[in-house]
Amino acid sequence: MRFLRILLAAMLLLLMAACNRAIEADIPDIVYHSEPELPAQPSSGQIHLYGEWHALEHMIDKHFELWYYYYNTHGMRHLILETSFSAAEFLNIWMHEDDDDILDALFRDRRGTASDTVYQREFYRRVKRELPETIFHGVDVGHQYASTGRRFLRHLRANDLEGSEIYRLATENIAQGREFYGVQRSDHNWRTVVMANNFIRVFDGLGDESVMGQFGGFHVNTPESRINPMTTRNMIAVLKERYGENVHTTCLVEYFLRQVAGTPDVVMVGGTEFNATFYGEQSLSAFHNIPYVMREFWLLTDENAYDIFKDHPTTGNVLPFHNFPMRVEAGQVAVIRYILPDDTYRMEYLRSDGEIWYYWEIFNTFVMP
């Protein structure tokens, strides 16, 4: 379990490092501070936003199913993503290419982040094969600005587009990324406002077109959702102020948690049998930096389970609630079996003490005697 805590922290650091490496000379020296001038008349199109936990196969599959529906049933063509401007524009170019060179380069830039999974790569490939008129729009700050962003600027200059509007937007988005990872010190409240402004610019620029958006659950969190908000004011609040009832949100996290009923079981913990509910398995094979191929989940259902283990010393390692495929809450005891490629496994025992790690409610791993 210790490696999981290290991995969670490492993913945050890798994301920052990938976006905050030394700036090369061909990136303009721009600092993003200004608020954009928004059109006086907002678009009358519809906005359908879906929140997810990143990198989970079933959620990515659901996103494709939803986009397939809107594309074919409602004629939508504009898909708004939680990605940078440059990454989305590269995807639009790749949609018309015969090879995956551009896609491969994007995933090299993302290595070590939550977007670096075979599931996300296959999502893009399926869109290209089955929904080829899709147009991607990236409204996040300029993640990977020193790799993806710099390469996109070189592409634009090579095609004599240095003075174009797309070049201006690319450089502004790079500046947003530099500001976020530099001056703002990864302030997600600041990022929320920037994302909302970028979204408004894109959406109002489409006239009366309707769109679908794919974002992490934090950014489309609604009052009825159980997700802890990463910010004091998320993107949805800003968009609803402008577009009102034209904004429709669905938390896929909540949707999938409601689908998981579990089956009664019995598990052995510390030499004692406990009643439990088994919630199935989750593949980990798509994650390049995790040694396990699978994990299985149980929650103890005996009423006194938490009291029995609440005083056991913890290891200092944590697992956020969003790692679990079922609804969880404080005062519970969980058991996870991590399975290695050779079919050996290790057991982890966790309890939820009502604590927060970074922005997330967590389970603490505890020591068995």
Nearest to 305 by CA among 352, 242, 236, 243: 352
Q: Tell me, which fold does domain 9-19+44-257 have in CATH?
A: Rossmann fold (3.40.50)
- State the chain's maximal CA–CA distance in angstroms: 71
The average pLDDT across 40-57 equals 77
pLDDT tens-digit map of 62-117: 899 999 999 999 999 999 999 999 999 999 999 999 999 999 999 999 887 767 78
**Weakest-pLDDT range from 72-86, 190-204, 243-257:** 243-257
**Weakest-pLDDT range from 215-224, 240-249, 276-285, 307-316:** 215-224
Question: By the 8 A CB rule, do 196 and 235 touch?
Answer: yes
What's the rounded Cα separation, in Å, for the pair 184 and 194? 12
Cα separation of the two ends of the chain: 16
Angle between helices 85-94 and 101-109 (to 10 degrees): 160
pLDDT of residue 57: 77
Residue 229 DSSP symbol: P
Using the predicted structure, report yes or no on whether residue 354 has a pLDDT greater than 90. Answer: yes
* DSSP assignment string, 195-233: HHHHHHHHHHTTTT--EEEEEEGGGG--TT--SPPSSSS
The average pLDDT across 271-290 equals 83
What does the chain come to in residues? 369
Q: Which residues contact 125 (CB under 8 A, 6 or more apart)?
A: 100, 103
The average pLDDT across 193-214 equals 93
Question: By the 8 A CB rule, do 245 and 203 touch?
Answer: no
Query: Using only C-alpha atoms, what is the Rg of the chain?
Result: 22
Nearest to 213 by CA among 228, 188, 195: 195
Residue 359 DSSP symbol: T
From its phi and psi, is residue 260 left (phi > 0), alpha (psi between -120 and 50) or beta?
beta
Whole-angstrom CA distances from 304 to 307, 308, 309, 369 are 5, 6, 9, 19
Residue 369 DSSP symbol: -
Report phi then psi at 227, rounded to 5.
Answer: -75, 135
pLDDT of residue 255: 64
What's the rounded Cα separation, in Å, for the pair 121 and 297? 27
Question: By the 8 A CB rule, do 120 and 106 touch?
Answer: no
Query: Do the bridges between strand 294-300 and strand 333-339 make them parallel or antiparallel, or are there none, so unpaired?
Result: antiparallel
CA angle at 114 for the pair 108 and 119, rounded to the nearest 5°: 80
Nearest to 14 by CA among 119, 113, 80, 143: 113
Q: Residue 89, Cα to own-chain centre: how many angstroms?
A: 19
Q: Which residues contact 201 (CB under 8 A, 6 or more apart)?
A: 36, 38
CATH 3.40.50 in the chain: give the residue spans.
9-19+44-257
What pairs with residue 357 in β-bridges? 360
Q: Which residues contact 40 (CB under 8 A, 6 or more apart)?
A: none
**Weakest-pLDDT range from 19-28, 41-50, 221-230, 231-240:** 19-28
